[in-house]
Amino acid sequence: MVAALAQLPGTRMTAVMLARRLIEQTPPGSIIVAAAATDALLARYVRAGFTAGRARRVYRVVPVEA
Protein backbone atom coordinates (compact mmCIF):
# COMPACT_ATOMS: atom_id res chain seq x y z
CA MET A 1 0.00 0.00 0.00
CA VAL A 2 1.32 3.44 -0.91
CA ALA A 3 -0.38 6.63 0.24
CA ALA A 4 0.68 10.25 0.16
CA LEU A 5 -0.39 12.49 3.01
CA ALA A 6 -0.36 16.25 2.52
CA GLN A 7 -0.99 19.08 4.94
CA LEU A 8 -2.69 21.90 3.06
CA PRO A 9 -2.01 25.54 3.99
CA GLY A 10 -4.62 26.88 6.38
CA THR A 11 -5.67 23.46 7.68
CA ARG A 12 -4.94 22.02 11.10
CA MET A 13 -3.70 18.50 11.72
CA THR A 14 -5.43 17.04 8.67
CA ALA A 15 -2.48 14.86 7.68
CA VAL A 16 -1.84 13.70 11.24
CA MET A 17 -5.49 12.73 11.74
CA LEU A 18 -5.47 10.87 8.42
CA ALA A 19 -2.27 9.09 9.45
CA ARG A 20 -3.90 7.95 12.70
CA ARG A 21 -6.81 6.49 10.74
CA LEU A 22 -4.40 4.87 8.32
CA ILE A 23 -2.60 3.16 11.22
CA GLU A 24 -5.87 1.60 12.35
CA GLN A 25 -6.54 0.15 8.88
CA THR A 26 -3.02 -0.83 7.81
CA PRO A 27 -1.95 -4.48 8.06
CA PRO A 28 0.37 -5.37 10.96
CA GLY A 29 4.04 -5.06 10.07
CA SER A 30 3.46 -2.24 7.58
CA ILE A 31 5.61 0.87 7.66
CA ILE A 32 3.92 4.25 7.32
CA VAL A 33 6.07 7.18 6.19
CA ALA A 34 5.36 10.88 5.81
CA ALA A 35 7.19 14.16 5.39
CA ALA A 36 6.25 17.13 7.55
CA ALA A 37 6.29 20.56 5.91
CA THR A 38 7.08 22.38 9.16
CA ASP A 39 8.76 21.70 12.48
CA ALA A 40 5.38 22.13 14.20
CA LEU A 41 3.83 19.41 12.03
CA LEU A 42 6.86 17.21 12.68
CA ALA A 43 6.25 17.60 16.42
CA ARG A 44 2.60 16.58 15.96
CA TYR A 45 3.63 13.44 14.08
CA VAL A 46 6.08 12.55 16.84
CA ARG A 47 3.37 13.07 19.48
CA ALA A 48 1.16 10.73 17.43
CA GLY A 49 3.75 7.96 17.76
CA PHE A 50 5.90 8.46 14.67
CA THR A 51 9.70 8.39 14.80
CA ALA A 52 11.50 11.42 13.38
CA GLY A 53 14.08 10.89 10.66
CA ARG A 54 16.16 13.23 8.51
CA ALA A 55 14.75 16.29 6.77
CA ARG A 56 11.40 16.23 8.64
CA ARG A 57 10.61 12.72 7.51
CA VAL A 58 8.77 10.44 9.93
CA TYR A 59 7.92 6.76 10.03
CA ARG A 60 5.95 4.32 12.13
CA VAL A 61 5.90 0.53 12.09
CA VAL A 62 2.43 -0.88 12.65
CA PRO A 63 2.84 -3.46 15.45
CA VAL A 64 2.44 -7.15 14.71
CA GLU A 65 -0.01 -8.68 17.15
CA ALA A 66 1.32 -11.70 19.00
DSSP 9-66: TT--SHHHHHHHHHHHHSPTT-EEEEE-SSHHHHHHHHHTTPEE-GGGEEEEEPPPP-
pLDDT digits over 11-58, tens only? 666 667 777 777 778 888 888 888 888 898 889 889 988 999 999 999
Q: What is the pLDDT, as a whole number, of residue 11?
A: 63
> Can you give the pTM of this predicted structure?
0.70
Worst-scoring range by mean pLDDT, 1-5, 30-34, 40-44, 62-66? Answer: 1-5
With cut-offs at 50, 70 and 90, classify the pLDDT of residue 1.
low
